[in-house]
């Protein structure tokens, strides 16, 4: 359980330090000896995979000062104090301040081993719980942005979480409106690069004469009109993510220049001979078959293979029809808040039409339909008896009551900006009861980023 954990052993007495380290290593434990509190302090960070065992009285940073610094970094980090006989009262006070345990000198290797094992077991459990909590929160977050219960969306989310932190270059393939930019942003946001910039570039929107300047930058005087230095998109994205939208539209004669920059991860600004390193991740999107384009000499095959370390394919909406109702309900709540309208109940006839439709514009088109539905201007092929939320006279009393209750909850959430606590107070319902009813009726609270296609491309 604690094979990967380390014991930071701190003692300024070389003989004691050596003896304790040897005793613990003979028990199969990983030990990292330090001769000062300052040295051990430099190794600590939040989530440190191990514990601290430190003598109290040391020159420079004392064991108590080290404990205080360690707990300020990670208040769950076990710190064991080694004290002299006259320091017991002080050690008891230190335990009240957060020390995990203390051992009195002269040291018994058996006592040391037992205390260390208990601390390691506690640390292992703490780290496991923290890891599970972080994973749960992260998976919940990505599920609120890439919406869908279909197997395709489950697999897509899992792949994103698996590769996000590794940061390989990625090629995203999907039809127009399927949500390629949202997938790219999730790859960035759930990686260690999320402190860096996410720099989107529409490859088809940059005029060919300006391409090199836009991508690589230029120095003052590099060409007519270059009155000051410009930092290009690659350099601007250093430390973060460069997002290349519609990579298939990049002019063929410019692809070789871009390929060299990607391969070497360095650029030269126009008008300069200085090489500038650019450490970044590259995510490209396309709606075309780039290998077919390469065979037709419309796209460089070497650029394709450079970009496609990992390929993510976003399924079109027509291939995951089980997600349509969930997405449509979300977009209705979003539109109701945006346009300050009540969120209308979706008639079954309309939902049947939505599910049967082929969605050539994918998620973006579905969102537009939801906007029109909330605004009361729904058009063909959805406009019919489905556009009016009339009661179905064949429904049972129980179904009618459920429909009414669901609509009341939807309206309350819309009035209170999707704040569940406020809506529950207004309805006189405990928060847990309201959440249970929302789950029963397939309702979800809107998040500002809760969409697959909010910025669908």
The SS3 call for residue 373 is helix
Radius of gyration of the chain measured on its C-alpha atoms = 30
Dist CA 111 CA 119 (whole Å): 12
First to last CA, the chain: 46
Check residue 391 and give its pLDDT.
42
Give rounded-to-5 percent helix, strand, coil for the chain: 50, 15, 35
Check residue 290 and give its pLDDT.
94
Which positions ≥6 away from 342 have C-beta within 8 Å? 336, 410, 411, 414
Residue 145: Cβ-neighbour burial (10 angstroms; 0-12, 13-18, 19+): buried
The SS3 call for residue 284 is strand
Residues of the chain with pLDDT under 50: 385-393, 446-457
Check residue 418 and give its pLDDT.
79
Check residue 318 and give its pLDDT.
93
| Beta strand segments in 143-228, E | 170-173, 198-202, 217-218
Residues 201 and 234: beta-carbon distance below 8 Å: no
Give the chain's domains with CATH numbers: 6-131 (3.40.50.2300), 146-315 (3.40.50.300), 320-440 (1.10.8.60)
Check residue 192 and give its pLDDT.
83
Check residue 446 and give its pLDDT.
44
Check residue 390 and give its pLDDT.
42
- What is the residue whose two structure tokens read 């007519």? 224
Output the CA angle 83-87-90, nearest 5 degrees: 110
Query: Tokens standing for 243?
Result: 């997002």
Dist CA 161 CA 350 (whole Å): 35
Q: Outline where 281-396 has alpha helix (H).
A: 290-295, 301-307, 324-339, 348-356, 362-375
DSSP annotation of 28 reads: T
Check residue 428 and give its pLDDT.
84
Helix (H) and strand (E) counts for the chain? 18, 14
pTM: 0.57
Check residue 413 and give its pLDDT.
80
Q: What are 314-368's pLDDT values in tens digits?
A: 999 999 999 999 899 889 988 988 999 888 888 888 888 899 899 999 999 999 9
Dist CA 51 CA 34 (whole Å): 13
* Kind of pairing between the strands at 310-313 and 170-173: parallel
Q: By C-alpha distance, which of 350, 327, 7, 340 is closest to 143?
A: 327
How long a stretch of residues is the chain? 457
What are residue 10's DSSP bridge partners?
Answer: 34, 54
Check residue 386 and give its pLDDT.
42
């Amino acid at each position: 359980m604690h094979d990967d954990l380390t014991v930071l052993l701190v003692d300024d007495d070389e003989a004691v330090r050596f003896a304790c380290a040897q005793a613990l290593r003979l028990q199969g434990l990983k030990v990292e000896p330090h001769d000062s509190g300052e040295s051990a302090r430099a190794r600590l960070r939040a989530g440190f995979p191990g514990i601290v065992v430190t003598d109290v009285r040391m020159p420079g940073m004392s064991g108590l000062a080290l404990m205080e610094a360690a707990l300020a970094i990670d208040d769950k980090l076990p710190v064991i104090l080694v004290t002299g006989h006259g320091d017991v009262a002080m050690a008891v006070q230190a335990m009240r301040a957060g020390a995990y345990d203390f051992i009195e000198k002269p040291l018994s290797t058996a006592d040391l081993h037992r205390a260390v094992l208990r601390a390691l077991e506690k640390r292992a459990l703490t780290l496991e719980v923290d890891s599970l909590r972080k994973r749960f929160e992260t998976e919940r977050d990505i599920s609120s942005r890439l919406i869908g219960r279909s197997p395709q969306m489950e697999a897509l989310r899992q792949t994103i979480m698996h590769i996000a932190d590794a940061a390989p270059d990625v090629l995203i393939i999907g039809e127009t409106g399927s949500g390629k930019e949202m997938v790219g942003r999730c790859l960035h946001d759930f990686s260690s690069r999320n402190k860096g910039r996410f720099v989107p570039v529409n490859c088809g929107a940059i005029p060919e004469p300006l391409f090199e300047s836009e991508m690589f930058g230029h120095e003052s005087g590099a060409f007519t009109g270059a009155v000051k230095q410009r930092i290009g998109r690659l350099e601007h994205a250093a430390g973060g993510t460069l997002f290349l939208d519609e990579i298939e539209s990049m002019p063929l004669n410019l692809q070789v220049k871009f390929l060299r920059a990607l391969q070497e991860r360095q650029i030269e600004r126009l008008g300069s001979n200085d090489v500038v390193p650019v450490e970044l991740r590259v995510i490209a999107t396309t709606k075309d078959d780039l290998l077919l384009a390469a065979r037709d000499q419309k796209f460089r095959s070497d650029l394709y293979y450079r970009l496609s370390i990992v390929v993510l394919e976003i399924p079109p909406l027509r291939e995951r029809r089980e997600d349509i109702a969930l997405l449509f309900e979300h977009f209705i709540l979003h539109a109701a808040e945006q346009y300050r309208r009540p969120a209308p109940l979706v008639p079954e006839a309309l939902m049947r039409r939505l599910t049967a439709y082929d969605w050539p514009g994918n998620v973006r088109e579905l969102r537009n339909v939801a906007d029109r539905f909330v605004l009361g201007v729904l058009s063909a092929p959805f406009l019919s008896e489905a556009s009016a939320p009339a009661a179905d006279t064949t429904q049972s009393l129980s179904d009618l009551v459920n429909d009414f209750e669901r609509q009341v909850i939807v309206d309350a959430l819309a009035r209170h900006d999707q704040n569940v606590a406020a809506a529950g107070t207004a309805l006189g319902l405990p928060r847990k009861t309201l959440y249970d009813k929302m789950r029963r009726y397939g309702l979800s609270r809107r998040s500002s980023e809760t969409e697959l296609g909010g910025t669908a491309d």
